[in-house]
Amino acid sequence: MKYMIMLSLTQQDVDMMAGWSPQDAAALGEFMGKWNNALVESGEFVDARGLAAPVHTRRVSLKDGVPVVTDGPYAETQEVLGGYTIVECASFDRATEIAAQLAETPHPADAQFTHDLHVDIRPIAENMAESLE
């Protein structure tokens, strides 16, 4: 089964991380590279992407049947999807085990994130019936 591991952040987090030292940024990149490579080596890696900063988001909603476009980030939603990794593994427990490794993600000791750092894990539905279960 495939699972999506979703990393959350806010625009304030992105702004704060932009001020990290080159060494701190490199440590994060090295950690994520090793994490991804371990998944490739185990055969569980499917795909991974980081997303552009929340400020580069647009939302299209319908109001009275007419599309309305709103530029991000959104005051009513602080946390947004910052990136994801898709794994294919034997169980939800294994996907959770993989995601839990992100607890070791390095960051400067004085980094002040705007929320508790967390990731979400969801099974990927292969068809409409599975998405409604």
Q: pLDDT tens digits for 90-99? A: 999 999 999 9
Give per-residue pLDDT as tens, 10-47: 888 888 999 999 999 999 999 999 999 999 999 999 99
Give per-residue pLDDT as tens, 49-78: 999 988 888 888 899 999 999 887 665 667
The pTM score is: 0.85
What per-residue confidence (pLDDT) applies to 19? 92
Select from 3.40.50.300, 3.20.20.70, 1.20.210.10, 3.30.70.1060 the CATH code of 2-53+79-131: 3.30.70.1060
- Computed on alpha carbons and rounded to an integer, the radius of gyration of the chain in Å comes to 17
Where are the alpha helices (H) located in the chain, listed in sequence order?
11-18, 22-42, 92-100, 128-131
What per-residue confidence (pLDDT) applies to 9? 87
- CA geometry: angle at 38 spanning 81 and 101, to 5°? 55
Domain boundaries, the chain: 2-53+79-131
Token pair belonging to 64: 């009275």
